[in-house]
Amino acid sequence: MKEIKPNLFEFATSELSQDAFLCYLLSFSKKIYSERFPLEYKFSRDVIKFLKKKVSLYIEIPLQKWYHMILKVIYL
């Protein structure tokens, strides 16, 4: 069986897309590539860990909205 590896051109067909490179790189983080492409796998996982430290997601939900959501759940 032929082994398939990530292909940069699956994400973008032109040289203008930096996003395509990131998608290509991060696609190596899948467990199926850990043995065949250990360096790419480790590097992609390290990039993900680095990005997770740098980016924080904060979503503010007003208390009133939460209160109404809780009441709906309780009284359903």
As to burial, measured by CB atoms within 10 angstroms (0-12 exposed, 13-18 middle, 19+ buried), residue 47 is middle
pLDDT digits (tens, 9 = 90+) for 18-44: 777 888 888 999 999 999 999 999 999
pLDDT digits (tens, 9 = 90+) for 39-61: 999 999 999 888 888 776 665 65
**What is the rounded CA–CA span in Å between residue 21 and residue 69?**
41
Q: What is the reported pTM?
A: 0.55
